[in-house]
Amino acid sequence: MNVIAMLLAAGLTFTTPDGWKSTRPTSSMRVAEFTLPHAASDAEDAELIVYYFGGSGGSVEANMQRWIGQMQQADGRPSSAVAKKESRTVNGLTVSLVDVSGTYTAEMSPGSAAHHNKTRFRMRAGVIETSNGPYFIKLTGPERTVAKWDAAFNQFVSSFRLQ
């Protein structure tokens, strides 16, 4: 683990796992962005983004449903039938998480008519509830690459603190 904790807007800190590459956020709503290097069998890296919308951003359930809706199942089942949800308390903060695989079909950018079409992808996303409003995390990438970083993702989530 990288011993340097990042201080973010409204006081959320976390420890960045070894191997994750920090990149410059591409918008003011993104408070941190990371590239997670791809597994040997994948051609594409995974991406993890931490969002903060100044205390807004919708309910936990609305975000969970939106994220689940960004994945499609090859067999036609609704992604809600295969998504795994959990809630845990991390250093006094409620963290709600979803984990779902399939074909990633989210908009390329907010409001865009163009959509991703990435098969065998996996998303791990969540809401961190703080007294300063919610933070949102979203990890997307090829299934094997996301699996490669499962332990690091869990360590990352376990490091959340509000300063």
Q: What is the pTM of this model?
A: 0.92
Share of the chain above pLDDT 70, in %: 94
As a whole number, the mean pLDDT across the chain is 92
Q: How confident is the model at residue 4 (pLDDT cuts 50, 70, 90)?
A: very low
What is the rounded CA–CA span in Å between residue 37 and residue 39? 7
Q: List strand residue ranges (DSSP E) for the chain, in order.
A: 5-7, 12-15, 21-23, 30-36, 46-52, 71-72, 84-90, 93-104, 118-129, 135-142, 161-162
For 109, the token pair is 């950018």
pLDDT score recorded for residue 5: 46
- Residue 62 maps to which CATH number? 3.40.1000.10
Q: How confident is the model at residue 114 (pLDDT cuts 50, 70, 90)?
A: confident
* pLDDT over 50 at 56, yes or no: yes
pLDDT score recorded for residue 52: 92
What is the rounded CA–CA span in Å between residue 99 and residue 115? 20
Range of the domain at 146: 5-162
* pLDDT over 70 at 141, yes or no: yes
pLDDT score recorded for residue 38: 98
Q: How confident is the model at residue 8 (pLDDT cuts 50, 70, 90)?
A: low
Number of domains in the chain: 1
Residue 124 CB neighbour total at 10 angstroms: 24
The average pLDDT across 102-110 equals 89
pLDDT score recorded for residue 144: 98
pLDDT score recorded for residue 3: 39
